[in-house]
Every structure is written in structure tokens, then in C-alpha cells.
Structure 1
Amino acid sequence: MDIEQLKQYILCYSLNNCPLGNQGFNRVLIQLMGYLGHGKSSLINSCKYALHDKEFTTHAASGSADGGLTTVRNAYPLTHTITMVDNRGCATLNSFETGEFYTQLANFVPLNTGVEWTKEFDDVLNRLEDSDIEPNFSDIIVPVYVYSVKREIADNEVAELKTFLKTCRDLTGIFPIIVLTHKTSGPFSKFRDIFEGMGAEEIFSVENYTQEDNLKTLGRHLQFLNLIHKVLLNVNFRMSEERNPRKERAERKKFLHKFFHEREVKK
């Protein structure tokens, strides 16, 4: 599709038009994850800029390469159906940080609330139980992992990151889409090979628009529109089979209980 066709497809997208209808879902959440300062907030600004084609605006505040600004799971709607979700960047991807990401991907964390690396077992369980007061069954979450090619991946990180990405896939039914940022500042082809070795199915390399560099070009706009389009293709594929939102949420809750119990035993 050309750029105008991509825009129209995204702007008019509705879960009602999926092969079996919406099946109880009404929103697509594009959940961003990754390390501090790797470009998650800038990616949101870039996607909104490419889709709505207005003057560049800083919707999500972005930080420097060594420390992000986001501490809240902020929601940024792209359309009535599609919302991008910013996230607090992690520092080491330890079990406390991954536990928070899993809880979000399982849809047990409200949007626009602070992100904390919860360490106490009782606090975690109370949080899960509190979420059942007003449970959310209606979001389809697509995980997107953002990584800057400016940062090397240590050998000991590869196995941990591979496990993390696979768990995200098991929770959502979609393997995380990888977005490599700062593509002109490092060997992005090297990182593409590394993430492919982890099982990644979709990898995008982008140069985010910024306040200092926001000259619109066809190639950059297409990068971000194709990313959103790929998210929706993954949703369509998952929605081509029968779904039960309540049952799926219950299964995700079982996973979280097991994960946090095992984490507590190891601690």
C-alpha cells in the first residue's frame, strides 16, 4: 500500500471488521517496552506525526540516551480503536522489572498509572486481586520491544532477553515486534541478526523524528505507518480464531501467580 492507503487503513480500522467480529474486544493497545532512554517516547511522537501529518508535536516527553523521563504507563490514542502505550524504561531487565511488564501485558495494570518495580510478594498478590474489582477484558495487547543500536548487547543478556520475549509471546499470543532505534548511529544489521536469533518475526529499524530533526520524508513516514500496519495484521491473525476474553484473562492470572511465586522462592 502507498502512504495514503496505509493511513486510511489505520484510521478506519475496527475490530468489528475482523473475520469473527470483535468477540468482546474493543481496543488495540500497542505496548512499548525496553531500556531507559532507548526511544520509546520518541517512537510514539513519530507514529502520531506520520499518521496525522500535522506539525511535529511532542506528545510523549523523551529523555536522553542514558536515562528516560517516563515513569507512568501513559496512553496515547492514535485512533478510536488503536492506542500506543508508553512505559517506564527498565535498567537491567531483572525479575522485578520483567514481572511488571508481564503484569501489564496480562492487562492487570490500569493505563495512566505509575510504574513501580514491585518487590514484595504480598503487594503483588494484592495488586492482582484489586484488579478484579473492575477487570479489563476488552483490550488486545500487542507487545513492541524498543532497542537502540547505540547500546551493545552483552552475551549474558541474550539468553535472558530471549526468555523474556518468548514469555511476552506466550502471554499475548503475539511475538514482540522489535523496533531498532537510532539506525544511523550503529550497526543495525548486527542487531537484526541477534534478535532474529532470539526468534523475532518482525524487526523494524527506524530513525525517530525529534524536535530538532522533524523534516518529513516519505521513507521515514512509511517506516512508522508500516509498523502500525504490521501490528494490525498480527491482531487480524489472532482474531481469525475463536476467542474468549474472560477465559484468556483467567489463564494470564494463573501465569502471573506462578511467576511471582517462583520469583519469591528464588529470592
Structure 2
Amino acid sequence: MKIVCCVKQVLDPEIPPGAFHVADDGRSPEVRGIPESRVIDSYGENAVETAVQLRDEAGEGEVIGLAVGGEEMDDALRRGLALTADRGVRVWDPSWGELDGITVGLILAAAVKALGGADLILCGREASDVEEGVVGPAIAEALDLPCVTIARRVDLEEGRLRVERETDGLIEVLTAEPPVVVTVTSSDANVPRMPKVRDVMLSKGKPIRVLGPDELKTGVSPGPRTRLRRLLEPEARGECERVEGEDGPAIAGALLDRLAREQVL
């Protein structure tokens, strides 16, 4: 089974919320006061784990990590290699500039074609930075493939894929014939493994193949279909009143009295 797994590099979600600010361009976040760090998108990492499990379950096949972007995306691809993906491929041209989710999906679809197709294309359910969730469906539309979203578990059964997906608090169980696109959410079934030291070291030396627009052989326009006009920080509103007292019981009593006056209790 040939599996292509789409990944992305994002700002580390462990960065304290207070360090995030709107950049000077008014349309992107930036980190201030502490060093900026980036990691592979968490749902993308779940997708890589799913891909590796399926390959190992089948006893054969190949897992290809695929990303759109500049050299900063190599770290996400190498994380996939450390999780034992077989190859890493990055698609980029500096002239592309800003890309939205739909355009990224179309470029990824063209890259899958350039790689000779795939039996299964996996993506995270959404990227943790923009949370649009459109890349997977855009790939499926461009390749005219079925798409199963928000999958919590994917298994191989007699050449078919058995997919469990979340919907409105329920679990749906579907079967799909490859080729198919599946977007993956986090669950107990796809918790990323802890990479072995040997695999981490090997991942650092593996080459990342770079595909340019000439190799994609597609008429996809590099311009975004949608554009973020403005990003705003929420304004802090409300008043804060300090309740004082000689000791803990006195402070608690004063707080209860105040809440009673406000008819909260």
C-alpha cells in the first residue's frame, strides 16, 4: 500500500497564550518576549502514526510525508521520518507567496499525481494554526476521490479500509475502496509513538526531495482563493475587585457577602 501523508509545521501550541500577538501586517500571529518554536501539526502527527500503523499491518508498502512550503517545513517532514515514514517530499516555489488552504490542497493533489498516485492520502482533520479543515476535501475534489473526514481509527481489512469517524457525538463505521482521502483526528488509536534514538538520527540524514512547479504539470494558480483581511486580538473587558480580609475565613466571608448582594448566590 502506498500512503501519502500530508503534514505542516506550525507554531508550538505549548507557547504561553500571553506571548501571542498580532504581527505588524495585521494578518498573522507572532510570538513576542520568548523564542519562537515550531512543531509538526498535532493532527498531522496523528495522521503519520495512522499511516505507519497501516503499512506495518500490511507488512509492506510505503509512507511518504508530503508538505507545501519553504525549508521550514523540513522539520515537520523529518519528524515524520523519525516516526518511520519512508520518504519526505516538499513542494515549493518562492514565487508562490501566500497560499490559502484550498490552494494548498490543489498543489498537494498535483504533487500526488507527480509521485505516481497513492492508495491512501492522509491529512490531519485541520491545522492547529488556522483550523480551516479544507485541505483534505480539496485534495479529494481535485483528484476525484472519495473523502472520509474526522477519522479516529483506520484499519485494513481484506484490501478495504475500515474507517471509524466521529460525528455529532456518535461513531460511524465506514468501508472504503482505495484510492481514498481520509482526514484524521486524535484518538487513543493513533497516539504518536515515541521515536527511537536511532530513527531520529537516521531522519536527520535522509534527503528531502523538493518538487517545483515544473514537475507538477498543473495549471493551478499560486494565488490564494481566500485572503484573511485582518486579525484582531480580543479586547479585555470587565472590572476586577479585590476582596480583602485579615485571614482566609474573613476573606471567604466577605466574598460570600458580596456574591449575595449581587444575587449570584
Q: With structure 2 as the length reference, what TM-score do the two structures score?
A: 0.30
Name the one with the larger helix percent. Answer: 1
Larger Rg: 2
